[in-house]
């Protein structure tokens, strides 16, 4: 990724929802299902995704995006303070690539706001 | 139905997990999974972050307009300000991926 200047759109945690906020919102749309069950569903979704990544599998959620684990190979490094050689093991990091639909949803909402109220 | 290891996971596999572990019908499981992702997408589109403890944070960032260059022609172009989605994995998830690695 480039060195573009970027800033978070929000100034604080108020503009964020957590997992419990997500559960609330989902529960609000599924009145025939108890909140407890909604919670189990949301947890199961993220647990099963975590398991898949742990097995090194790719996850593809159509319309949302994909997750993939990238491996940085083990290498021999050096402790910069002591000069001592150290073995640095493999490191696995999850990456998310946003899907086309969500990418456009996120960006077009911005374009819409910008054209409506640029006077603020 | 066991999923093949090494094969990618899809939304259908997640639905299967809900069906097996939570006990909803397949239809209900599918509807619930759709609703969860729909809510996440709408929340992010409104500019809000979605923070899933133990998994990671989905964060919408604003990129300022900047001058760029068409890498093929070298021509200067103005890239519009835009909004992009990034994912920051939680430390918990990163640790899970790095602990107990099965020897290959």
Reported as a pLDDT band with limits 50, 70 and 90, residue A6 is very low
Q: Residue A30 — φ and ψ, nearest 5°?
A: -125, 65
* Structure token digits, residue A64: 């949302």
Instruction: Give the pLDDT confidence of A11-54 residue by residue, as tens digits.
Output: 444 589 999 999 999 999 999 999 999 999 999 999 999 999 99
Q: Looking at CA atoms only, how far is residue B93 from chain A in angstroms?
A: 7
Q: Which residues of B touch A64 (CB under 8 A)?
A: 37, 40-41
CATH number at residue B81: 4.10.520.10
Claim to verify: residue B94 and residue B55 sit in the same structural domain: yes
Claim to verify: residue B61 and residue B103 sit in the same structural domain: yes
Claim to verify: residue B36 and residue B68 sit in the same structural domain: no
Claim to verify: residue B75 and residue B64 sit in the same structural domain: yes
Q: Distance between CA atoms of B17 and B11, rounded to whole angstroms?
A: 10
Within an 8 Å CB–CB cutoff, is residue A100 touching chain B? Answer: no
Q: Distance between CA atoms of B70 and B51, rounded to whole angstroms?
A: 36
Q: What angle do CA A42, A45, A48 make, to 5 degrees?
A: 145
Please name the residue ranges forming H helices in chain A.
19-29, 35-54, 100-116
DSSP category for residue B73: T
ipTM computed for the complex: 0.84
Claim to verify: residue B5 and residue B32 sit in the same structural domain: yes
Report the b/e string of B61-81 with b at 16+ CB within 10 A.
Answer: bbbeeeeeeeeeeeeeeeeee
Claim to verify: residue B59 and residue B77 sit in the same structural domain: yes
Q: Distance between CA atoms of A88 and A86, rounded to whole angstroms?
A: 6
Write down the pLDDT at residue A82: 92
Q: Looking at CA atoms only, how far is residue A63 from chain B in angstroms?
A: 9
Q: How many domains does chain B have?
A: 2
CB of B61 within 8 A of CB of B83? yes
CB of A14 within 8 A of CB of A6? no
pLDDT averaged over chain A?
85
Nearest residue of B to residue A56, measured between CA atoms: B6
Write down the pLDDT at residue A56: 92
Instruction: Give the pLDDT confidence of A15-25 residue by residue, as tens digits.
Output: 899 999 999 99
Q: CB–CB of A50 and B55 under 8 A?
A: yes
Q: Residue B78 is part of which domain span?
A: 48-104
Q: Which residues of A touch B67 (CB under 8 A)?
A: none
Between chain A and chain B, how many beta carbons pairs sit less than 8 Å apart? 192
Q: CB–CB of A5 and B64 under 8 A?
A: yes
Cβ-proximal residues to A110 (8 Å cutoff; 6+ apart), any chain = B47, B62, B81, B82, B83
Claim to verify: residue B54 and residue B9 sit in the same structural domain: no
Q: Is the dihedral of CA A89, A90, A93, A94 positive or negative?
A: negative
Q: Which residues of A touch B27 (CB under 8 A)?
A: none
**Model confidence, pTM:** 0.81
Write down the pLDDT at residue B4: 57
Q: CB–CB of A8 and B61 under 8 A?
A: yes
């Amino acid at each position: 990724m480039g060195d573009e200047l970027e800033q978070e759109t929000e100034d604080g945690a108020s503009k964020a929802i957590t997992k419990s906020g997500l559960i609330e919102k989902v529960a609000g749309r599924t009145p025939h299902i108890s909140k407890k069950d909604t919670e189990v569903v949301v947890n199961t979704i993220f647990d099963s995704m975590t398991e898949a990544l742990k097995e090194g599998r790719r996850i593809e959620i159509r319309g949302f995006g994909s997750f993939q684990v990238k491996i940085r190979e083990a290498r021999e490094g050096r402790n910069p303070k002591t000069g001592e050689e150290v073995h640095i093991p493999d490191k696995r990091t999850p990456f998310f690539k946003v899907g086309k639909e969500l990418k456009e949803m996120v960006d077009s909402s911005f374009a819409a706001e910008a054209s409506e109220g640029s006077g603020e | 139905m066991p999923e093949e290891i090494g094969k990618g996971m899809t939304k259908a596999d997640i639905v299967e997990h809900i069906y097996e572990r939570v006990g909803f019908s397949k239809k209900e499981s599918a509807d619930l999974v759709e609703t969860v992702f729909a809510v996440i997408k709408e929340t992010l589109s409104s500019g809000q972050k979605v923070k899933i403890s133990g998994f990671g944070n989905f964060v919408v960032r604003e990129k300022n307009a900047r001058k760029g260059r068409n890498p093929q022609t070298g021509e200067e172009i103005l890239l519009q300000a835009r909004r992009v989605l990034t994912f920051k994995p939680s430390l918990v998830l990163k640790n899970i991926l790095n602990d107990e690695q099965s020897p290959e």
